[in-house]
Structure 1
Amino acid sequence: MSINLAAGGSGAGAGGDGLSSSFPPSQWSYAISRRYQYFLDKSTPHVLHRWTAFVVFAFIYTLRVYLIEGYYIVTYGLGIYILQLLILFISPQVDPEIQELDDDGPTLPTRGSDEFRPFVRRLPEFKFWYSIMKAFCIAFVLTFFSAFNVPVFWPILLFYWVVLFISTMKRQILHMIKYKYVPFSVGKQKYAGKKVALTDDTDTVAA
């Protein structure tokens, strides 16, 4: 009886092992995704290294497109996507123009006497880098498929992209000037005027 139970237990164990080993692709994909996420988390504080790697990869993609003299429509789509990411990167998380319609008022300071608030991006720096790297990787892979090599007159695409870039950035800069915010502020502002006033008061008391 015990032998049968042992055999049955062994069979169940074997069946369990067979069941667990019947889906190795899912286990491999899970392990790979965990390892991939681990490297992404480790690379988050290394801003200079990440952007250096992006510049190198962008140069490789540009060199490939230049040498094969094609895939301009892929490059144009890549440029449009980069422009959208850039606008999100330099835009505040809460649009002051929309926030003014609420009772709380704008979230960004509009006067010098307002309390300083750090600039919060709509698209964080790491997500901006990650999205642009993925876009270049996808575009690089597409250059190996002749179906995406659509013959076009590339100067027209370049001219249209430049016009679109100038008009979009002009609108964004006017938005910055109107609501008095800078998307590249670092740290907390220091007001020298208060220090000067404090020094004057101290000198008066000492006299």
Structure 2
Amino acid sequence: MSEGDSTGESIHGKPSTIGSFFTRLGQIYQSWLDKSTPFSTVRWAVTLLLTLIYMIRVYILQGWYIVTYALGIYHLNLFIAFLSPKVDPSIMDDADDGPSLPTKQNEEFRPFIRRLPEFKFWHSATKGIVIAMICTFFEAFNVPVFWPILVMYFIMLFCITMKRQIKHMIKYRYLPFTHGKRTYKDNLQSKVIL
């Protein structure tokens, strides 16, 4: 065994204390993530609260606009991945291998599978906010900029990106917010029997 092993073992073949600590810390973190999975509303409420705290901090300190802009771009990229299908229909037009989104009314129902699932979207967005919050404690990240230009550029980028995404949704006829297959009541069930 060498000293640089990535298994967290010391030079004597026993697990190092630091390696064991970080392994245990990772297990506790993963356990909390697993427990939070079914509570999407609570998870997003905590993320919105963190966002509000971050925005208040940036407003009070009057700085860290580049960090905020980078966080906004990162969240925009996550959101676009959340809205996009796992398999891009424009690529599937060229190669008809594998499943694709239904394009006609009488085609079989296929659920919308996202490129970025909701849980990973939430987890990445929350980590981004926490990292941005940590950056506000270091003056090195407080680069002086004229923030109205960043706001205008972000709004322009958001509009252009969403316009392209909406055109893609319309062209390939998919909605990223479907909740399952439509069911129809049987005509016999809907008649009143006297």
TM-score, length of structure 1 as denominator length: 0.81
1:83 partner letter = L
> Using the alignment, how far apart are the partners of 2:130 and 2:52 within structure 1?
12
Q: Residue 71 of structure 2 aligns with which residue?
A: 78
Inter-CA distance 177–144: structure 2 relative to 1 (3 Å threshold): same
Match of 1:40 among 33, 36, 41: 33
The C-alpha deviation readout for 1:75-109, integer Å capped at 9, x for no partner, is: 00000011100000000000011011113476001
Match of 1:140 among 113, 133, 143: 133
> Using the alignment, how far apart are the partners of 2:100 and 2:15 within structure 1?
55
Identify, as 1 or 2, the structure richer in helix.
1
> Using the alignment, how far apart are the partners of 2:13 and 2:71 within structure 1?
42
State the structure with more CA Rg.
1
The question of whether the paired residues in 2 share the 8 Å contact of 1:70 and 1:149 is answered with yes
Match of 2:117 among 118, 124, 128: 124
1:144 partner letter = F
The percent of aligned pairs where both chains have the same amino acid is: 53
Q: Give 4+ residue runs of structure 1 displaced > 6 Å after superposition.
A: none
Q: Residue 165 of structure 2 aligns with which residue?
A: 172
How far did residue 116 of structure 1 move? 1.1
Q: Residue 101 of structure 2 aligns with which residue?
A: 108
> Using the alignment, how far apart are the partners of 2:62 and 2:112 within structure 1?
42
Q: Residue 57 of structure 1 aligns with which residue?
A: 50
1:178 partner letter = K
The C-alpha deviation readout for 1:51-77, integer Å capped at 9, x for no partner, is: 010011000000000000000000000
Inter-CA distance 20–72: structure 2 relative to 1 (3 Å threshold): same
> Using the alignment, how far apart are the partners of 2:94 and 2:14 within structure 1?
59
1:169 partner letter = M
> Using the alignment, how far apart are the partners of 2:45 and 2:130 within structure 1?
15
The C-alpha deviation readout for 1:128-162, integer Å capped at 9, x for no partner, is: 00000010011000001111101111110000000
TM-score, length of structure 2 as denominator length: 0.87
Q: Residue 4 of structure 1 aligns with which residue?
A: none
How far did residue 33 of structure 1 move? 0.7
Give the CA RMSD over aligned residues. Answer: 2.2
The question of whether the paired residues in 2 share the 8 Å contact of 1:100 and 1:106 is answered with no
Q: Aligned with 1:100: secondary structure? A: helix
Inter-CA distance 21–156: structure 2 relative to 1 (3 Å threshold): same
Inter-CA distance 191–114: structure 2 relative to 1 (3 Å threshold): farther
Q: Aligned with 2:120: secondary structure? A: helix
Q: Residue 98 of structure 1 aligns with which residue?
A: 91
Does residue 88 (structure 1) correspond to residue 69 (structure 2)? The answer is no
Q: Residue 158 of structure 1 aligns with which residue?
A: 151
How far did residue 23 of structure 1 move? 2.0
